[in-house]
Chains A and B, each alone.
Chain A
Amino acid sequence: DQQVKQNSPSLSVQEGRISILNCDYTNSMFDYFLWYKKYPAEGPTFLISISSIKDKNEDGRFTVFLNKSAKHLSLHIVPSQPGDSAVYFCAALLNDYKLSFGAGTTVTVRA
């Protein structure tokens, strides 16, 4: 059962502009939502998370927005840099033990 969905498999953005990654979920019981960045042949790197009781969290260039009524979250990266080119995974935590992941969005930052 695909409880977390990333409907855009890829995103291309110009260096310096904003990258917006989207994620939808179906289970209203998720406690936390997390974003990870992954390079080929490496493990996922934690970027930012947000509790289900909040609607925004910001950390440097990364901001995550949560819309509980729409069961939707998004990650904004401003400004986008060449090193941001990677696969980004949205994940949701249930009952403090299980992460459900989306299929990932490949971001390419163009010079």
Chain B
Amino acid sequence: ETGVTQSPTHLIKTRGQQVTLRCSSQSGHNTVSWYQQALGQGPQFIFQYYREEENGRGNFPPRFSGLQFPNYSSELNVNALELDDSALYLCASSLKGPSSGNTIYFGEGSWLTVV
């Protein structure tokens, strides 16, 4: 039990639609990162939010966007959904600092299917 919660757990969307995924970070953590995991692959970094601002981004197009709120929870928004966006979306919570490598915990993920 990591204390990182994600919602919804499963959802199905149609190509072209928009989706919002939510994440509540572990108590005491101030940083949220989002990852996409396709079947048979390792998770791929989408972006990180720290102090309500984007703090680094991976190789994902601008239709992937996010928010972080004052309570450190976060949203991932994906516009104009494509079939290849079907994946497990993972939220990771951490406390930024010199020992952050000891404190990165993941939620259970949100399974997105685009049809």
Of B65-73, B74-82, B103-111, which binds chain A? Answer: B103-111
B104 touches A46 (CB 8 A): yes
B90 interfacial contact with A, CB 8 Å: yes
Q: Are A97 and B43 in contact (CB under 8 A)?
A: no
- Complex: A37 Cα to B108 Cα, angstroms: 12
| Cβ-defined partner of A101 (8 Å) among B43, B48, B55, B56 | B43
A residues contacting the other copy or chain, number (CB 8 A): 27
- Asked whether A44 is an interface residue with its Cβ less than 8 Å from the other chain, the reply is yes
Residues of B close to A33: CB separation below 8 A: 101
Evaluate contact between A98 and B58: CB separation under 8 angstroms.
yes
Interface range for B: 20 to 34
- Report the tally of A-B residue pairs with Cβ distances under 8 A: 70
Contacts of A32 on B, CB cut-off 8 Å? 100-102
What are 25 A-to-B residue pairs whose CB atoms are below 8 Å? Answer: A4-B42, A32-B102, A34-B104, A36-B106, A42-B109, A43-B106, A44-B43, A44-B90, A44-B106, A46-B105, A49-B102, A51-B101, A91-B42, A93-B100, A93-B104, A96-B96, A97-B33, A97-B48, A97-B50, A97-B56, A98-B33, A98-B56, A100-B45, A101-B35, A101-B43
**A93-B56 Cα distance, complex, nearest whole Å:** 13
Contact of A31 among B40, B41, B101, B108 (CB under 8 A): B101
* Chain B residues closer than 8 Å to A93, beta-carbon distance: 100-101, 104
Interface: A13 (CB within 8 A): no
With A36-B106, A43-B109 already in contact, the answer to whether A95 and B45 are too (CB < 8 A) is no
Contact of A43 among B44, B100, B107 (CB under 8 A): B107
